[in-house]
Amino acid sequence: MDERFGLDRRVRLLGPIPLDSGRGFAPVEIAYETYGALNADAGNGVLVCHALTGDQYCASEHPLTGKPGWWARMVGPGKPIDTDRYCVICANVLGSCMGSSGPASVDPATDAAYGMDFPVITIADMVRAQELLVGHLGIERLHAVVGGSMGGMQALVWASLFPARVARAVVIASAARHSAQNIAFHEVGRQAIMADPKWRGGAYYAENDPPAAGLSVARMAAHITYLSEAGLTDKFGRRLQDRPGKPGAKSFGFDADFQVESYLRHQGLSFTGRFDANSYLYITRAMDYFDLADAHDGRLARAFASTKSRFCVVSFDSDWLYPTAESRRIVHALNGARADVSFVELASPFGHDAFLLDNPELDRVVSGFLGAAA
């Protein structure tokens, strides 16, 4: 049995990774899972990249929440990303908090948590760490890199930075850069965390008393951007919350009278049980820094100049966080680079979150694209 493969894997890779900031980072801890068997020619590896608050548990139970994997409906035997055919790899991104190196990790140089001494990283730095892992697994060329939201950004960077190692890239509900509005919402979240006195400049690990209130507000603000206005209206409208013994009524106070208030508060609170506030700062920063055209004089097509990958780009019509226009921009750039790209805008009432939800059309698009010859 090859210990590199299976559930709940961890590996320490020496690196160092050359970070975009100019620093190097080593050693690199990576927590990951694999599902399905790697072929003898190691040609069936599919890397699944997770979003801002996601993790490596895409198809198995989350160890803290006990919930099914965040993409269990997409990844598994007979599913669109079919683990009977592919060896699926999903790794916690650099900077996160589920086992890969991040601000909550212990710095071997000091034996204390990094906190804000953790280097500021970028999406490309996350991909560099993944590339170390893929090499460690003995995979020369991935059958595909697949991701939604920040995962889609990683798929784009993979194809741009390591063109020889990616046969296919699937980019769902994503963008090649963060817009001013995207940055603005993230900045609100960061300010909410840093305004919490318990944040203590990021050095809250020893006290075991994290800035949960600030992180909860950050999550609430972000969560609104994941849903569409119409979706919120359908799901909650102005319906009032029932209380023990009495039906919904205005309290003329500041309790959660409306169901949408109660829902948001729950989203905020439950998030603090599974996520580290400093990781939230670092990963939102990486996303805000993301503009794939930056290193190419602002010309996105040049980022794909040497690409050999086939691309599949998917957007959702009600996604206002990464709207279809951003996907079209990617497609135009790929066309400009004469890359092979298919694009589809899917209908969904669920806004940005649609990529995580049941959507038979998305399933067909993904499985069809992965199954086609490269």
Distance CA(214)–CA(321), nearest Å, equals 22
Secondary structure (DSSP) of 1-69: --TTSSSSEEEEE---EE-TTS-EE-SEEEEEEEESPPPTTS--EEEEE--TT--S-SSS--TTT-PPP
Smallest Cα–Cα separation from 87: which of 157, 150, 134? Answer: 134
Torsion of CA 280, 219, 73, 102, to 10 degrees: 10
The Cβ-side half-sphere exposure at 231, using a 13 Å CA radius, reads 20
Name the segment binding a second copy (CB under 8 A); options: 5-13, 51-59, 63-71, 223-231.
223-231
Taking the least distance from each CB to a second copy, the nearer of 169 and 300 is: 300
CA–CA gap between residue 34 and residue 130 (Å, rounded): 13
191 binds a second copy (CB under 8 A): yes
Return the residues of window 29-68 that contact a second copy according to CB under 8 A: none
- 149 is an active site residue: yes
Among 110, 238, 244, 245, binds a second copy (CB under 8 A): 238
Q: Which of 4, 62, 265, 302 binds a second copy (CB under 8 A)?
A: 265
Sole window of 35-43, 253-261, 308-316, 358-366 interacting with a second copy (rule: CB under 8 A):
253-261
Q: Among the options 318, 319, 327, 348, which is catalytic?
A: 319
Site membership for a second copy, residue 77 (CB under 8 A)? no
Candidates 117, 209, 229, 242; binder of a second copy (CB under 8 A) is 229
**Taking the complex as a whole, how short is the minimal distance between the CB of residue 197 and a second copy, in angstroms?**
6
Does 214 interact with a second copy (rule: CB under 8 A)?
yes
* Nearer to a second copy among residue 133 and residue 217 (C-beta): 217
Q: CB–CB of 159/309 below 8 Å?
A: yes
Per CB under 8 A, the list member of 37, 42, 161, 183 interacting with a second copy is 183
Backbone angles phi, psi at 246, to 5 degrees: -145, 145
CB closer to a second copy out of 71 and 289: 289
Positive or negative, the CA dihedral 249, 252, 253, 259 is: positive
Q: Which of 236, 301, 308, 332 is close enough to bind a second copy by CB under 8 A?
A: 236
Measure the CA–CA gap between 71 and 58, rounded to whole angstroms.
5
The DSSP string of 122-165 is -HHHHHHHHHHHHHHTT-SSBSEEEEETHHHHHHHHHHHH-GGG
How far apart are CB 125 and a second copy at their closest, in Å?
11
Residue 288 binds to a second copy (criterion: CB under 8 A): yes
Q: Interacting stretch for a second copy, rule CB under 8 A, among 54-62, 263-271, 305-313, 336-344?
A: 263-271
Nearer to a second copy, 83 or 272 (CB): 272
Phi, psi for residue 49 in degrees, rounded to 5: -105, 135
Annotation says 62 is catalytic:
no
Interface pick for a second copy out of 76, 268, 279, 353 (rule CB under 8 A): 268
DSSP letter string, 241-309: PPBTTB-----SSSS--BHHHHHHHHHHHHHHTT--HHHHHHHHHHHHH-BTTGGGTT-HHHHTTT---
By CB under 8 A, residue 161 contacts a second copy:
no
Angle at 11 between CA 118 and CA 201, to 5 degrees: 15
- On whether the CB atoms of residues 287 and 177 are closer than 8 A, the answer is no
Please select the residue that binds a second copy; options are 13, 72, 161, 221, rule is CB under 8 A.
Answer: 221
Phi, psi of 263 (to 5 degrees): -60, -45
Residue 352 annotated to the active site: yes
Binds a second copy by CB under 8 A, chosen from 194, 203, 305, 344: 194
320 binds a second copy (CB under 8 A): yes
The interface region with a second copy, picked from 64-72, 139-147, 255-263, 365-373 by CB under 8 A, is 255-263
Contact residues for a second copy (CB under 8 A)?
20-22, 116, 119-120, 177-181, 183-185, 187-188, 190-192, 194-197, 213-214, 216-217, 220-221, 224, 227, 229, 232-233, 235-238, 250, 252-254, 256, 258, 260-261, 264-265, 268, 281, 285, 288-289, 291, 320, 323
The residues annotated as belonging to the active site are 149, 319, 352
